[in-house]
A and B are shown apart, each in its own frame.
Chain A
Amino acid sequence: MFLRMLWRTARLRRGRAASALLAMIVAAAAATAMLNLYVDVQAKLRREFRNYGANVVVVAKNGNALPPDALPTVNATLPAASLAVPFAYVVATTNAGQPIVVSGTDLDRARKLNTWWWVSAWPNAPNAALVGVRAAAAIPPGRPFDLTFQGRVVHLTAAGTLRTGAAEDSRIYISLADFEAWTGLPPSTIEIAVAGPPQEVKAAVLRLSQALPAAEVRPVRQIMEGEARVLGKTRAMLWASAALIILTASVCVLATLMGWVFDRRRDFAIMKALGASERMVQSFFAAEAAALGATGALIGFALGVAVAAWIGRANFHAPVVPRFAILPIILAGGIAVALLSALLPISLLRRVQPAMILRGE
């Protein structure tokens, strides 16, 4: 009987129930989208922050060289999506006697790590060099040039120019293979971009220190502290916005649902007049409201996930992962708000005599 009444109500009073359901769907969608964004935006922004380059640096202690197995050890210890780039440095002299810093590195990885490097053309041939804008003044333009280190000469061609606004502008970069063939020296520094939250980075630093006892592993505090600050403020702002939006959406649902229940006071009065107990009537309306709340929350969740995905694509050009952990929260919230908006008017009407309601007062 109970269920039949519920079913008939849904069929007969479609109009008003539809607008109440619509309000519930919209509110649940808004809440889902906001919570989904809040959880996901951190991962998205962290990816953007990795563009700042290395956040951990491995340096050999006391100016010695790193052990030869350093790079493979580092690669093995790092979490996925991290990038480690070796750098070797010497001071060479040009034919004119000008001292100049030459660095040997894995040019492909350096390109991925340092996305802010402005490069006119990347070297991709043996003995091709990437010349910093300031260093370019010290070498003859357009022609191949020689560099000497401890009596060993290397013949290089300038493949492109590098501009960074920092120390790299005064250096010449060549591939690690060319560098080792010329000087015989191994890399002295490994710059690492560790992906993940600060805890992951700290854990990686610890693991690296243990794996390479002959080296010093330092987090780059400039990058890590800047990231923590900006990310923290952005999250706080998102949280405040989410709270405001969810509050407004709940008021919307409350207003609509309360009007809907209040409208049905004649049904309520008839049931009481026919002898239904108070508990029966209350549970009937509560069940109706809960069913409405649950249905709206489920549909709204799907819609909200779609909206969050759209925002992710529009702003970050990467999809926002739907977080199904939010579903129970939305469901519970939806049912709670629906119950509240049903039971409040009912408790007000309780005190009124059914006859008065049926007479229209």
Chain B
Amino acid sequence: MFFRLLYESFRRQRRRKLLAGVAITLGVAVATAMIAVATDVGDKISRELRSYGANLLVTPQDDALDVEIGGVNLKPPSDGAYLNEADLPKIKGMFWRNNILGFAPMLPAAVRVTGEGNDVTLLGTYFSKLLSFGNERFSTGVRTTNPWWKVEGAWPEDDSRDVLLGQRLAAKLGRRPGDEIEIAGEKHRVSGLLATGGEEEDQIVAPLAVAQQILGKPGALRRIYVSALTKPEDALARRDPATMGPELYDRWYCSPYPQSIAYQLQEVIPHSHAEQIRRVAQNEGTILARITGLMLLITLAALLASALAVSAAMATAIFERRTEIGLMRALGAGGASVAALFFAEAALLALFSGTIGFAGGAWLAREIGLSIFGSQVSVAPVLLPVVLGIAMIVTFAGSAAAIFRALRFDPVYALRSTA
């Protein structure tokens, strides 16, 4: 009998259930989308913050003191230690390799340029060089670590001898993209002009091999700039790993703090010292915390709004049917069985509309992710039972008040339809 009543209720009163169903679907869709976006926003904003550039710097352990003002290095080139270019691909072999978005080696050299009196700094680096480590092939260079560098003309190929001229230097020498320039007695083609807003605009930027050849040091480099996805610092991050017990050390090592990634960089690159570039790394953590905090609070607000929408719709739908309830009471049904029937209806409605809402919410989350960040926002399948559970609880809560109020109604009035 119970199931027949349930079945008939859905078959005959489809339109009445529609508004409640739509409200539940919308509420669940919004809740799902907001939860999915809020859980993913940390990662997405972290990636956007990488547009500030490298946050870690690797230098030789025994490096001599830098004597540099405004990008002009006054240290004699024979001074100081070098890192080995052959060690670079090993960066993709460390524990946190998936957090390393890119790296760029730097080798500065002071060169004589025909037409310019003073020495000019030539910076050797990777632009977008293809490297391989094990079975993995990847490309990395300044085009990844320094996204604000803009080139008028074309970027040089990493295995060519073309160079980029800084904008200010090019203006002084009167060169345009495609011209030739004589550096240290050799001719090179200028493939483009570089605009960075910094000291590189007074320098020449060339493929690493060119700088190595000028210095007569094949396979050498001075510094590596690394762009990595990191977790904001906390008290554990700042501790010295040597003072940690094995368990704490494991936790520290397996968290992507700037310090632990720097530590691992020192492990894979021999004779190196790695450190966070504080200007970039410190502020990242603060901004990330602010934005994720904000999104969390907004998601709570969205969940609250959805819950209220669903409760309101359910309460309205049930209150409309109080004559039905009165009728059932008049026919002898106990309060418990009437309540059970309506709760069962609410549960079925919640399950059905909730599943559609979940699918809609997943689609919504994907669209938001693609249009704002250009990447997918993934919805974990485990979210479905969680969201359905919450939908059922909210639906019950919304109906409960209305059902109990309707039950207290005198059946006589219900039968007389004077509400």
Contacts and interface: CB of A to CB of B under 8 A. Distances in A.
Contacts of A244: 30, 33-34, 302, 364
A41 B294 contact: yes
A245 interface: yes
B198 interface: yes
Contacts of B304: 30
A165 interface: yes
Contacts of B19: 255, 258
Interface string B63-91: 10111111000110000000000000000
B309 A241 contact: no
Interface stretch (A66-74, A141-149, A232-240, A274-282): A232-240
Interface stretch (B185-193, B239-247, B263-271, B279-287): B279-287
A240 B372 contact: yes
A276 to B, nearest CB: 21
A256 B293 CA distance: 32
Interface string A213-224: 000001111111
A260 B419 CA distance: 13
Interface stretch (B49-57, B152-160, B379-387): B49-57
A5 interface: no
B330 interface: no
A52 B148 CA distance: 16
A237 B283 contact: no
Interface in A116-159: 116-118, 134-135, 137-138
A222 B301 contact: no
Contacts of A53: 279
A45 B287 contact: yes
A4 interface: no
B278 A165 contact: yes
B260 interface: no
A222 B294 contact: no
Interface residues of A, number: 80
Contacts of B30: 244-245, 247-248
State the main secondary structure of chain B at its contact with A. helix
A34 B309 contact: no
A98 interface: yes
Contacts of B41: 237
B309 A222 contact: no
Contacts of B139: none
A225 B51 CA distance: 8
B287 A230 contact: yes
A98 B177 CA distance: 41
A51 B68 contact: no
Given A221-B198, A226-B51, A33 B279 contact: no
Interface in A1-41: 19, 23, 26-27, 30, 33-34, 37, 41
A258 B22 CA distance: 14
Interface in A48-81: 48-49, 51-53, 59
A198 B357 CA distance: 40
A48 B287 contact: yes
A230 B45 contact: yes
A170 B371 CA distance: 44
A245 B302 contact: yes
B301 A33 contact: yes
Interface string A74-94: 000000000000000101000
B74 A230 contact: no
Contacts of A220: 197-198
A240 B27 CA distance: 15
Interface residues of B, number: 78
Given A237-B41, A252-B305, A314 B69 contact: no
B312 interface: yes
Interface stretch (B106-114, B313-321, B337-345): B313-321
A241 B299 CA distance: 8
Contacts of A360: 323, 416-418
Contact of B290 (A167, A219, A315): A315
A30 B312 contact: no
B283 A116 contact: yes
B132 interface: no
A342 to B, nearest CB: 14
Interface in B24-46: 26-27, 30, 33-34, 37, 41, 44-45
A99 B283 contact: no
B70 A59 contact: yes
Contacts of B277: 164-166
A315 B57 contact: no
Interface in B293-352: 293-295, 297-299, 301-302, 304-306, 308-309, 312-313, 315-317, 319-320, 323
A25 to B, nearest CB: 11
A152 B59 CA distance: 33
Given A248-B27, A259-B319, A52 B52 contact: yes
A190 interface: no
Nearest to A167: B68
B308 A26 contact: yes
B1 to A, nearest CB: 26
B65 A98 contact: yes
A256 B313 CA distance: 6
A324 interface: no
A26 B69 CA distance: 59
Given A237-B295, A360-B417, A30 B305 contact: yes
Interface string A96-117: 0011110000000000001111
Interface of B: 19-20, 22-23, 26-27, 30, 33-34, 37, 41, 44-45, 48-49, 51-53, 57, 63, 65-70, 74-75, 146-148, 195-198, 275-283, 286-287, 290-291, 293-295, 297-299, 301-302, 304-306, 308-309, 312-313, 315-317, 319-320, 323, 364, 368, 371-373, 416-419
Given A266-B419, A315-B293, 17 more contacts: A26-B308, A51-B282, A91-B67, A91-B69, A101-B67, A165-B279, A225-B51, A229-B51, A230-B49, A230-B287, A237-B372, A238-B294, A241-B302, A244-B33, A247-B26, A248-B27, A255-B316
27 contacts: A23-B308, A37-B294, A49-B283, A52-B280, A59-B70, A100-B65, A100-B67, A101-B69, A164-B279, A165-B277, A170-B67, A219-B197, A220-B197, A221-B197, A226-B51, A226-B53, A230-B48, A233-B44, A233-B373, A238-B294, A258-B19, A259-B317, A307-B301, A311-B297, A315-B290, A315-B294, A316-B290
